[in-house]
Amino acid sequence: MIEQTVHMGLLFDFYGQLLTEKQRLFFSLYHQDDLSLGEIAEQYGITRQAVYDIIQRSQKTLSNFEEKLGLIKRYIRQREQLEKVQGKLKELGDELARTGAAGPWQEQLAEVQELLAEIIEEF
Amino acid sequence: MIEQTVHMGLLFDFYGQLLTEKQRLFFSLYHQDDLSLGEIAEQYGITRQAVYDIIQRSQKTLSNFEEKLGLIKRYIRQREQLEKVQGKLKELGDELARTGAAGPWQEQLAEVQELLAEIIEEF
């Protein structure tokens, strides 16, 4: 179970481009910049209820896309698998270090680890 | 540049659930089961032109989603990166084998390679 804030962030990252400009703006002010409904309402000269409705509607739209496409579910599964690979590479490195054998493999292993870390970072 | 058939398959895999049932059916009969427009038309008792229009419309819808979300572009990039990791792990294995040192690392490396191969397979 991932945290609600993280989940909203993922929904926005994956499907945010399918919202209208206004939906995207309000969703992001509320969920990412942490403004309150009241603050957004004041800033844009509309009622708090109208802001609430727009954000609720956006969330529903994003959730519907995820329900149909499941790309976030897939993303989370793949990320976990890659982190498992990362853990196993670390174990492998520890084991090799224990053998005390130096050699070009040290640099090669470091390279693989770095590449994988980058992939996970940008995933 | 990926092949057109592969590209259509990816579009369908990623965004196919956003088509209507009929669009999905015709798109898949045409692009995946390789039926001709005429064959589909005959089978469903509509004109060849109507089939063509539905399939064209489906392709446009799928392409629009990719244009907005870019998830296939991202998928292809990630897959290439993972294959690069796979190649580097292979080099590492070759290097370690050259050292002639046997040990638990052999099994550990094989495990990492297997796990990564699975991830790429299901990616």
Q: What is the ipTM of this complex?
A: 0.86
> b/e map of B7-16 (b: 16 or more CB within 10 Å)?
bbbbbbebbb
Q: Taking residues B7-16, what's their average pLDDT?
A: 96
Residues of chain A whose pLDDT is less than 70? 1-2
Residue B70 has a pLDDT of 96
Which of B16, B47, B53 lies closest to B32, judged by CA?
B16
Residue B13 has a pLDDT of 96
- On whether any CB of chain A is under 8 Å from the CB of B50, the answer is no
Query: Position A117: which residue type?
Result: A
Separation of alpha carbons A15 and A59, rounded Å: 10
Of A15, A78, A116, the CB nearest to B69: A15
Interface contact A68-B112, CB threshold 8 A: no
Average pLDDT of chain B is: 94
Interface contact B108-A85, CB threshold 8 A: no
- Residue found under tokens 């990412």: A32
Separation of alpha carbons B63 and B51, rounded Å: 18
Structural contact between residues A33 and A24, judged by C-beta atoms closer than 8 angstroms: no
Cβ neighbours of B115 in A, within 8 Å:
81, 84-85, 88
Domain ranges of chain A: 4-69, 75-122
- On whether any CB of chain B is under 8 Å from the CB of A97, the answer is no
Selected residue with higher pLDDT from A93 and B103: A93
Is the confidence at residue B102, as pLDDT, over 90? no
Cβ neighbours of A112 in B, within 8 Å:
85, 88-89, 92
Query: Position A12: which residue type?
Result: F
CA distances from B97 to A70, A107, B112 (A): 42, 15, 16
Residue A1 has a pLDDT of 55
Interface contact A112-B92, CB threshold 8 A: yes
Cβ neighbours of B101 in A, within 8 Å:
99, 101
Domain B4-69, CATH class in plain words: mainly alpha
Q: Number of CB pairs < 8 Å for A and B?
A: 77
d(CA B38, nearest CA chain A) in Å? 31
pTM of the predicted structure, to 2 decimals = 0.88
d(CA A17, nearest CA chain B) in Å? 6
Quick one: which H or E segment has residue B85?
helix B71-99
Confidence grade of residue B1 (pLDDT, cut at 50, 70, 90): low
